[in-house]
């Protein structure tokens, strides 16, 4: 897809005012520069008229007030690393994109109560490095995407992690929010400036306000508390491969739920199908297509066997005292052993002699098991994710179809023209619903001739998220349109089946609440009351676009 350049430029006086607020280096208004920093992986392209990088809360307030006076909408993002969901793209053209990546202070870490207070530019890598370098006893959960994603930004979009603290929104507690009129709100229900529990007690007094600013456009979150977890006495890691007959997958799903329900499994694993694993381990085998748009079942099986990939795979962290971890291991062997192979390989990340031995022996073991060397390459990064240590090893999969090889460093799929898009329906955690959701998903993939990529993410003991995605050539308009058609139909099918996506891309946000008109109308009423000018992120998560931006 060829990017357009912005057609509407902001008034010179507004550009000068923004420069006076954030500094000349904090404003980009040249079309080429704006295009470069707002590139996207999804099959839709919008372009702002300018991009602004504030460094402080007071600068955000001043930018909001300047935009209000000029009646120009703002689209705030944290770092914009939510690749495959829209990145820094607004739901409309023109306007000002506000990128908060320069607001990157770690304000406080409370070792006793187990939380940090941070700004939206703080990344998973920055927070993890800070905790390790300061000798903290605390771990921060992280997303499996990139180490440079925003901790707050991911939480505000209800992103998920892997440790027992995987619910990122659930870990937020107490926010500072710039409202559309420029005022600063402190959530938490207590006295402004003197609420000692605002980062330790979520609910406050009266209606719960933090939830108003998650997947919403009622304000700009400029600071928040995030809960952390103490390092466990013992950590281990289970690697599981499903070897049973496909007909037993439903029974496996029910047994997996009971492991989570009983807390024998405390992490939040991603059960990846074989294609999802192959995206990580290899480059796309275009030579096996045989004139097709996607791999045949036979070609996919042959490709999978070359690397020793099982039909389903997941990893899981084990946490607790020695006794607790022994119990978790016993239960995982007992239950998962009915369906495949379980290995406990957490020692691979230890710094002692045994850890060194495990890392040395791993390639030999993997070869004996018929696995490719790439399995060994991703072993340590995969285990570390379950210790809250972020990595870019897995987001490299974005390049597996669009580039001849995956880059080792400096990874930015949007900048580099990778095309992929995600959707994540939430499904009841039982065999009936998961198998039904997988079946209808496969039908949509087959109809639009894309390879079947799915991960079943354990959201809780009661629900899973199906992370579903396609990879496509952004530079091929026909394939990009096919990807858009796949996304639109998949979203329609999931809503019809009663499996609503847990988050939206920038291209589906304006219609995100259309299937629940009463909720949509209530949200529009709240938006009109809080932001009568419709200044902040029009169209975000089901709220109305401005008249000029409607299709």
Residue extents of the structural domains in the chain:
12-99, 106-230, 244-387, 420-504
Q: How far apart are CA 3 and CA 37, in angstroms?
A: 12
Does 3.40.462.10 match the CATH number of domain 244-387?
yes
- pLDDT value at position 190? 87
Q: Check whether 130 has a pLDDT greater than 50.
A: yes
Q: Check whether 547 has a pLDDT greater than 90.
A: no
- pLDDT value at position 354? 86
pTM listed for this prediction: 0.95
Residues contacting 79, CB < 8 A, separation 6+: 99, 100, 101, 120, 121, 123, 148, 149, 150, 153
Q: How far apart are CA 235 and CA 33, in angstroms?
A: 46
Q: Check whether 316 has a pLDDT greater than 50.
A: yes
Residue 551 banded pLDDT, cuts 50, 70, 90? low
What mean pLDDT is predicted for residues 431-436?
98
Among 5-14, 307-316, 317-326, 415-424, the least confident range:
5-14
Q: What's the distance, Cα to Cα, between the start and end of the chain in Å?
A: 20
Of the candidates 481, 489, 479, which has an alpha carbon nearest to the alpha carbon of residue 425? 489
Q: How far apart are CA 489 and CA 460, in angstroms?
A: 27
CATH number of 106-230: 3.30.465.10
Residues contacting 394, CB < 8 A, separation 6+: 144, 145, 280, 378, 381, 382, 385
Per the DSSP assignment, residues forming a β-bridge with 343 are 239
DSSP, collapsed to helix, strand or coil, labels residue 242 as strand
DSSP, collapsed to helix, strand or coil, labels residue 396 as helix
User: Where do we find the tokens 């004139």?
Assistant: 291
What mean pLDDT is predicted for residues 326-341?
98
Does 3.30.9.10 match the CATH number of domain 420-504?
no
Residues contacting 268, CB < 8 A, separation 6+: 160, 161, 162, 163, 164, 166, 457, 458, 459
Among 109-118, 171-180, 203-212, 461-470, the least confident range:
203-212
Q: Check whether 363 has a pLDDT greater than 90.
A: no
Q: Name the DSSP letter for residue 114.
A: T
Residue 441 in tokens: 């998903």
Per the DSSP assignment, residues forming a β-bridge with 492 are none
Residue 550 banded pLDDT, cuts 50, 70, 90? low
Q: Check whether 441 has a pLDDT greater than 50.
A: yes
Q: Name the DSSP letter for residue 450.
A: -
* The two domains 244-387 and 420-504 share their CATH topology (first three levels equal): yes
- The string of pLDDT tens digits covering residues 51-71 is 999 999 999 999 999 999 999
Residue 184 in tokens: 């600063």
CATH number of 12-99: 3.30.43.10
- pLDDT value at position 431? 98
């Amino acid at each position: 897809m060829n990017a357009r350049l912005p057609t509407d430029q902001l008034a010179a006086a507004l550009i000068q005012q923004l420069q006076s607020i954030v500094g000349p280096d904090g404003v980009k208004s040249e079309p080429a520069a704006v295009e470069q920093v707002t590139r996207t992986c999804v099959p839709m392209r919008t372009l702002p008229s300018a991009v602004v990088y504030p460094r402080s809360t007071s600068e955000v307030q001043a930018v909001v007030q300047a935009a209000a006076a000029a009646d120009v909408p703002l689209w705030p993002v944290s770092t914009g690393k939510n690749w495959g969901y829209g990145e820094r793209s607004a739901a409309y053209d023109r306007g000002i994109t506000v990128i908060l990546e320069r607001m990157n202070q770690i304000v406080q870490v409370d070792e006793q109560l187990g939380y940090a207070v941070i700004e939206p530019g703080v990344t998973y890598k920055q927070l993890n490095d800070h905790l390790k370098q300061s000798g903290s006893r605390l771990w921060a959960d992280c997303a499996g995407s990139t180490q440079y994603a925003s901790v707050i930004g991911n939480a505000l979009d209800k992103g998920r992690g892997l440790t027992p603290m995987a619910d990122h929104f659930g870990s937020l507690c107490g926010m500072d929010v710039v409202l559309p009129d420029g005022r600063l709100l402190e959530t938490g229900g207590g006295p402004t400036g003197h609420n000692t529990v605002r980062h330790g007690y979520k609910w406050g007094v009266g209606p719960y306000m933090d939830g108003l600013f998650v997947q919403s456009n009622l304000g700009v979150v400029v600071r928040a508390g995030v809960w952390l977890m103490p390092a466990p006495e013992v950590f281990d890691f289970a690697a599981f491969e499903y070897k049973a007959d496909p007909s037993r997958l439903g029974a496996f799903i029910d047994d997996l739920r009971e492991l989570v329900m009983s807390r024998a499994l405390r992490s939040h694993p991603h059960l990846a199908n074989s294609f999802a694993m192959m995206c990580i381990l290899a480059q796309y085998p275009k030579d096996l297509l045989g004139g097709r748009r996607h791999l045949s079942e036979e070609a996919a099986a042959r490709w999978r066997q070359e690397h020793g990939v099982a039909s389903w795979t997941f990893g899981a962290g084990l946490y607790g005292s020695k006794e607790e971890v022994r119990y978790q291991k016993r239960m995982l062997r007992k239950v998962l052993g009915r369906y495949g192979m379980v290995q406990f390989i957490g020692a691979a990340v230890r710094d002692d002699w045994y850890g060194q031995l495990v890392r040395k022996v791993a390639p030999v073991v993997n070869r004996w098991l018929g696995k490719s060397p790439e399995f060994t390459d991703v072993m340590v990064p995969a285990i570390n994710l379950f210790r809250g240590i972020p990595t870019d090893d897995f987001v490299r999969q974005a390049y597996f179809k669009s580039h001849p090889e995956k880059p080792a460093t400096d990874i930015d799929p949007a900048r580099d023209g990778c095309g992929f898009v995600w959707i994540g329906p939430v499904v009841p955690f039982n065999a009936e619903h998961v198998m039904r959701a997988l079946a209808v998903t496969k039908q949509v993939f087959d109809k639009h001739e894309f390879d079947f990529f799915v991960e079943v993410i354990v959201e809780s003991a009661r629900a899973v998220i199906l992370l579903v995605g396609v990879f496509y050539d952004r530079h091929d308009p026909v394939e990009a349109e096919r990807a858009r058609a796949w996304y639109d139909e998949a979203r329609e099918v999931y809503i019809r089946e009663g499996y609503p996506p847990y988050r939206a891309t920038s291209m589906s946000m304006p219609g995100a609440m259309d299937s629940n008109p009463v909720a949509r109308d209530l949200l529009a009423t709240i938006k009109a009351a809080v932001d009568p000018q419709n200044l902040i992120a029009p169209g975000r998560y089901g709220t109305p676009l401005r008249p000029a931006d409607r299709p």
